[in-house]
Amino acid sequence: MALTGALLLTSAPIASADQVRDAQWPLTVYSAEKVWKTSQGAGVTVAVVDSGVDAAHPDLTGQVLPGKDFTGAGTPHRDTEGHGTAMASLIAGHGHGANNSAGVMGLAPKAKILPVRVDLAGSKFVTASLASGIRYAVDQGASVINLSLGDDNSYPGSKAAKAVAYAEAHDVVVVAATGNDAGTVSYPAALPGVVAVTAVDQGLKFWSSSNTGNVTVAAPGVEVAQADPTTKSGYAVADGTSGSSAYVSAIVALLRSKYPDLTAGQIINRLVKSASFLNNTGKKAPDKELGYGIARPGSALTMDIPKGPKEGPLAQASSSTSTQSGSASGNESPSQAAKKDKSSSSGILLIAGIAAAVIVLGIVFAVIRSRRNRGSGGPGSGPGGGMPAHGTGYPPQPPAGYQQYPNTPPNQGYATPPGQSPQYPNPYAQQPPHQGQ
Catalytic residue among 11, 39, 50, 143: 50
Question: What's the alpha-carbon Rg for the chain, to the nearest Å?
Answer: 22
For residue 72, how far is the Cα from the chain centroid?
Answer: 27
Which is the catalytic residue, given 209, 242, 257, 322?
242
The answer to whether the beta carbons of residues 405 and 303 sit under 8 Å apart is yes
Is position 50 annotated as part of the catalytic site? Answer: yes
Distances, alpha carbon 264 to alpha carbons 162, 180, 192, in Å: 17, 27, 14
Question: In sequence order, what E strands does 119-231 have?
Answer: 144-147, 149-150, 173-177, 195-200, 217-220, 224-227
Element (H, E) at 48: strand 45-50
Query: Residue 288 CA to chain centroid, in angstroms?
Result: 14
Q: What ranges in 70-184 are assigned the alpha helix state H?
A: 83-92, 124-139, 159-169
Give the strands of the sheet with 45-50, arranged side by side: 68-69, 112-117, 45-50, 144-147, 173-177, 195-200, 217-220
CA 153 to chain centre: 18
Residue 83 annotated among the catalytic residues of the structure: yes
**Of residues 77, 83, 94, 96, which has the active-site annotation?**
83
Is-catalytic flag, 242? yes
- Peptide bond just before 422 cis, omega within 30 deg: no
Residue 416: partners with Cβ closer than 8 Å, 6 or more residues away: 28, 29, 31
Rounded Cα distance between 382 and 5, Å, is: 43
Instruction: Please list, residue by residue across 337-348, b when 16 or more beta carbons sit within 10 angstroms of its beta carbon and e when fewer do.
Output: eeeeeeeeeeee
Helix ranges restricted to H, 357-435:
358-375
| Separation of alpha carbons 174 and 168, rounded Å | 7
User: Catalytic residue positions?
Assistant: 50, 83, 242
